[in-house]
Amino acid sequence: MDVRISPSRVGGTARAPPSKSYTHRAILAAGYADGATVRNPLFSADTAATARAVESYGGRTERVGDDLEVTGFDGDPGTPADVIDCANSGTTMRLTTATAGLVEGLAVLTGDSSLRSRPQGPLLDALEGLGVRAESTRGNGQAPLVVGGGTEGGTTAIRGDVSSQYITGLLMAGAVTDRGIEIELTTELKSAPYVDITLEVLEAFGVEASVVGGDDTAVRSAGAEGFAVDGAQQYDPADEEYRVPGDFSSMSYLLAAGALAADRELVVAGARPSAQGDAAIVSILESMGANIEWDREAGRIAVGRAPLSGIEVGVADTPDLLPTIAVLGAAAEGRTRITDCAHVRLKETDRVAAMASELRKMGVDIEEQEDELRVHGGDLEGATVAGHDDHRIIMALSVAALLAEGETTIEGAEDVDVSFPSFFEVFSDLGVELERR
């Protein structure tokens, strides 16, 4: 699907979708449990892949209205009867590859061409350190993966600068091993708030895990030297349910649209505080001069259009915000310097290169380095741009199109289904002039 967007003003109230990060973890945690109701999850292509994986290990899932009823495998995943297809979901693969380490037989995990190009080697090495058979069929650290044989737990080491999802998968699986798992980080941890999300979900399901070392900041996992989780724990959420909060990664596009193109106040509902690092979008917009106010108790963020100025911002802990920040920088006065972004190249696509390429098509002066993106603000021009099979690239470019002179066509825009299936409906309701074809 291609989407053509005309320059538009926006306003009104929108509700952000539920958090994809929390939904993945909650579905898998309910799978590790005897069962649970996941309330208000994100129903999307990625989270459906995690639900299928839970079913492959012996659980069952059923959508009931806006909720997902999960019958779990109670800490004892069975050997899958077929290959687990993770589609385009890196989170599904990394979290449930660790689950595969618990099965007596072998599990085979694969995905689409994009997923089969993403690095899984550090996780495979860490599982091998726990006595698990963990192999890449092509010997290159990428899917398809063959994993299994079971583990009692133990101590292992892993890089922290490729994907925090490795740590999440190990912690979730470690809680149901006999001995538990101790994880030593061999590098600095990137995306630390995402591990905090994991710790928060584990706690809600009655599982205790701890941070070794750390900076003792609001982000518990920041500066961590490692993590530990005791074994023989039971996943057991209060009242046998878990409610998923709103998604700040998805909110970032709505808030950016309001800051750049609102002709009246734009309000985003469902914005209650949580461990999500991407809530930093509020402070980033404030730093750039946006007219923004967050009522944390009510969970509502109001934003209005205002002149923005370029800033310097690091995305070591908030990689999913890079596309949004790049678009804000393209419309701001002066230069926006986005640093600590080398790991953002390892997502669904190389998001650093993709944003540089597509914003250049829209007339933006942008400089790309391995770990940095420099965006010089100015006028944007309508153009035909590529979505790169990446939901975050598509949504960020949709925001840029609001300010461009002339129409902008985004090719392959259907991939918003990964995290925000109703994105274009919401955009249209806010006043965006768009056509899907």
Does 392 show up as a binding residue in the annotation?
Answer: yes
Cα-flanking dihedrals φ and ψ of residue 67, to 5°?
Answer: -115, 165
Helix (H) or strand (E) holding 384: strand 384-386
Question: Is 320 marked as binding a ligand?
Answer: yes
Q: Which of 98, 53, 58, 50 is nearest to 77 (CA)?
A: 58
Residue 239 DSSP symbol = G
Q: Is 9 annotated as a binding residue?
A: no
Has 190 been labeled as part of a binding site? no
Give the distance, in angstroms, between the CA of residue 72 and the centroid of all CA atoms in the same chain: 24
Residue 118 assigned as binding residue: yes
The 3-state DSSP class for residue 56 equals: helix
Say if CB 291 and CB 303 are below 8 A apart.
Answer: yes
Using omega within 30 degrees of 0 as the cis cutoff, is the peptide bond preceding 421 cis?
no
Q: 165 labelled as ligand-binding?
A: yes
Question: What's the rounded Cα separation, in Å, for the pair 237 and 86?
Answer: 26
Q: Which residues pair with 294 in a beta bridge?
A: 301
Local structure of residue 217 (DSSP, 8 states): S
Is 347 one of the annotated binding-site residues?
yes
230 is catalytic: no
Enter the tokens of residue 334.
């002066």
3-state secondary structure of 409: strand
Nearest to 7, CA basis, from 307, 426, 393, 362: 362
**52 labeled binding residue:** no
Q: Which residues of 257-291 are buried (b: 16+ CB within 10 A; e: fewer)?
A: bbbbbbeeebbbebbeebbbbbbbbbebbeebbbb
- Strands (DSSP E) along 275-364, which ranges? 291-295, 300-304, 312-314, 335-339
Q: Cα angle vertex 75, ends 42, 169, to 5°?
A: 55
**Residue 210 annotated as part of some ligand binding site:** no
Could you give the 3-state DSSP secondary structure of residue 407?
coil
Phi, psi dihedrals of residue 122, rounded to the nearest 5°: -60, -40
Of 289, 281, 357, the residue nearest 319 (C-alpha):
281
> What does the DSSP assignment read for 74-89?
TT-PPPPSS-EE-TT-
Dist CA 382 CA 380 (whole Å):
7
**Any binding-site annotation on 191?**
yes
User: Pick the catalytic residue: 320, 389, 415, 417?
Assistant: 320
148-to-83, 100, 102, 127, 307 alpha-carbon distances in Å: 13, 5, 6, 9, 55
Beta bridge partners of 269: 15, 300
Active-site residue set: 320
Q: Which residues are part of a known binding site for phosphoenolpyruvate?
A: 20, 90, 118, 165, 351, 392
Q: Which residues are part of a known binding site for 3-phosphoshikimate?
A: 20-21, 25, 163-165, 191, 320, 347
Q: Which residues are part of a known binding site?
A: 20-21, 25, 90, 118, 163-165, 191, 320, 347, 351, 392
